[in-house]
Amino acid sequence: MAQSLDYLKETPSQTAGPYVHIGLAPGAAGFDIYGQELGWDIAGPNAQGERIRVEGLVIDGTGSPVKDVLLEVWQANAAGIYAHPEHPGAVEDGFRGWGRVITDFATGEWGFDTVKPGAVPGRNGTVQAPHINLWIVARGINVGLNTRLYFEDEAEANAADPVINMIEWENRRQTLIARRNETDGKVVYRFDIRLQGENETVFFDI
Amino acid sequence: MLKPGEFYQRDREWHPPAYVHNYKTSVARSPRQALISLENTVSEITGPVFGHGDIDAGDNDLIYNYAKSGESAIGERIILHGRVLDENGRPLPHTLVEIWQANAGGRYRHKKDTYLAPIDPNFGGCGRTLTDENGYYYFRTVKPGAYPWRNWVNNWRPAHIHMSIFGTAFAQRLITQCYFEGDPLIAKCPIVNTIPDPAAIDRLIAPLDLNATIPLDSIAYRFDVVLRGRRSTLFENRLEGN
Ligand SMILES: [Fe+3]
C-alpha cells in the first residue's frame, strides 16, 4: 500500500428540512429570539446604483410552488465589488451583498430588495455580466442548489458572459434571465426557479 | 509566493444525490438535468464576512437564550463542540455556525410543526456562534428528542441538530445534520440514508466526549465539520482581479 494522503473529506450535506427558519430566520418560524436576525438587508442604506426588487417562486416537478424554501443571495455592489477581503476594492458602508429570503408559507412567493450589481471579473481576463448568486435549501433538497440570476436588460453583457456561454443548450440559458417590469417607478425583476421538469432552471456545481 | 486558489471540486459521490426514492420529498424537488460544473470565479471564492457585531455572546447557549429569567430549558443538558476545518486540515477561524433543533420532547418551535409533544416555554431551539482563531466552536443545549415524520407511515427522525456553516466562500456553504452516537434510529432514517457511503454517514455521528463534559452538569458530544479546501497557487496565477 502507498502512503495515505492526509486530506480530509468534506462533511456530507443533509437537507435543511422543513424547519430551517428556526435556525436561520426565527422570525419567520414565529418567534423573536436574537438581538438582530442576519441577512434581511442586502445592500444597506448607502449603496450606490439602481434600487431593484426581485420576486419569484420556486416551483417543483409537479408544477407547484415550494412554500418552505430558503434562499441565500450573494452579489457584488453596483461597481462590481464583492464585500470580501479577496476582492480588491471597497464597498459602501453597510453593503454586505448577502441576504436571506423566505417564502410566504401560504403562496410560496418570495422577494428581496437590493441594488443591481455591476459586472465582475471572470477568469482569464474575461468579464462576467451582472448577476446575483443564489443558493436554495429546503426539505427534499439534499445538497443546496446553486444558480445565478442574470438581468434581461443586460442582453449585450449576457451574450458575452462566459458562464452563460458555457451552457451548451441555448434554450436552457433563458432559465437564468430575470424579466424586468417597471410599475409606478419601481423596478421589479421576476425570477421563477423550476427545480425539475420543463424549463428546469440551470443549476451549477460551483 | 503561494496563495490560496481554487476550491477542490466537491465529491458528488460522497454527498447524497438529489433524487433518493426513499426520501419522498426529494422526488419532485430534485433537478433531473446534470449540474453545470463551473470553474471558480470571484463570485464563488468570495462570501459574506461575519463578526462579533452580528451576534450576541449568549446566542450559543440554547439552555438559556430563550428562557425566562431564573428558568432554563428542560432536557438532558449537553455541550456540542468541535472544530471547523477545511479539507487541508486547516482551521477556519471566525466563521459563522448556526444550529437549530427540536426540544427534548421532539417538538420544534415553528408554526408549521403540529407534533403532539409540548413546546417547552423556555426553549427556542436555535443558536449561533463564530469559531475562534483555532476554528473551535461551542454550544450548550439540551439533547433533542426523536420525532415522527411523514414519509412512510412509521418513520422517526433520530435525535439530530441541524447545522449551517459558512466558511469564507459561497462555494463552501453547507447545511448538514449532527446525530448522536449509539442512536438506533440513525440506521433506519431515510434522510440519513440519502448518503450512499457508510463512512460518510459516520462523519455525521457525534461521539460522546466524556473529557469535555462538565461533571454534575452537562454531557458533551464532539462534532467536527470539514468544509471544502483550496489548492495553493502561485501569486501570479491568482483568479480575482486579473
Ligand atoms: Fe429536524
Bridge partners of A178, per DSSP, are A151
Instruction: Name chain A contacts of B32, Cβ cutoff 8 Å.
Output: 61, 196-197, 200
Whole-angstrom CA distances from A101 to A54, A94, B149 are 10, 18, 25
B126 contacts chain A (CB < 8 A)? yes
At B242 the pLDDT is 37
Question: Which residues of chain A fall below pLDDT 70?
Answer: none
For the record, the C-alpha cell of A33 comes out as 429570539
Query: What are residue B186's phi and psi, to 5 degrees?
Result: -60, -50
| pLDDT tens digits along A69-92 | 999 999 999 999 999 999 999 999
* Binary contact (A19, B112; C-beta < 8 A): yes
- Length of chain B equals 242
- The pTM (predicted TM-score) of the whole model is 0.96
CA dihedral A37, B222, B18, B152 (to 10 degrees): -100
3-state secondary structure at position B42: helix
C-beta separation of A72 from B173 below 8 A: yes
HSE value, Cβ hemisphere, 13 Å, CA-based, for B185: 15
Dihedral (CA of A50, A53, A56, A58) sign: positive
In whole angstroms, what is the distance from residue B233 CA to residue A199 CA? Answer: 38
The DSSP 8-state label assigned to residue A175 in this structure reads G
Q: How many CB atoms lie within 10 A of CB B50?
A: 17
Helix (H) or strand (E) holding A188: strand A186-190
Query: Is the Cβ pair B15, A12 closer than 8 Å?
Result: yes
> What CATH number should be reported for the domain whose range is A28-194?
2.60.130.10
Per-residue confidence (pLDDT) for residue B238, from 0 to 100: 53
Q: Does B32 touch chain A (CB under 8 A)?
A: yes
Q: Which residues contact A190 (CB under 8 A, 6 or more apart)?
A: A55, A56, A178, A179, A181
CA–CA dist A134, B216 (Å, integer): 46
Name every chain A residue with its beta carbon within 8 A of the beta carbon of B111. 29-30, 105
Q: Give the three-class secondary structure for A41.
A: coil
Best of A40, A142, A195, A203 to disrupt the B interface (most B CBs within 10 Å) is: A142
What's the gap in Å between B160 CA and the centre of ligand 1? Answer: 6
Please list the active-site residues of B. Answer: 108, 147, 157, 160, 162
Q: At A30, is the secondary structure helix, strand, or coil?
A: coil
Q: How far apart are CA A20 and CA A33, in angstroms?
A: 15
> SS3 helix, strand, coil % of chain A, rounded to 5?
15, 30, 55
The reply to whether residue A61 touches residue B30, judged by beta carbons under 8 angstroms, is: yes
Inspect the interface and report whether the beta carbons of A140 and B59 lie closer than 8 Å: no
Tell me, what's the pLDDT at A99? Answer: 98
Q: In B, which residues are within 8 Å of A37 by CB distance? A: none
In angstroms, the first-to-last Cα distance of chain A is 33
The tally of CA atoms less than 13 A away on the side-chain side of residue B179 is 25
Q: Which residues 127-156 of chain A have a CB within 8 Å of chain B?
A: 128, 131, 133, 135, 137-146, 148
Beta partners for residue A132, in sequence order: A75, A149
- Contact of A34 with chain B, judged by CB distance below 8 Å, is answered with yes
Shortest Cα distance from B210 to chain A (angstroms)? 23
Please answer yes or no on whether B66 and A200 come within 8 Å at the CB atom.
Answer: no
DSSP assignment of A93-140 = TT---EEEEE--TTT--EEEEEE----EE-GGG-EEPSEEEEEEE-TT
From A34, A131, A204, residue closest to B35, measured CB to CB:
A204
Q: Mean pLDDT of successive 10-residue segments in chain B (242 residues)?
A: 82 98 98 97 97 96 98 98 97 98 97 94 98 98 98 98 98 98 98 98 98 97 98 62 40
Q: Residues A129, A164: contact at Cβ < 8 Å?
A: yes
The domain locations on chain A are: 28-194
Residues A140 and A145: their CA atoms lie apart, in Å, by 11
Measured between its terminal Cα atoms, the distance across chain B in Å is 17
Distance CA A84, CA A8 (A): 26
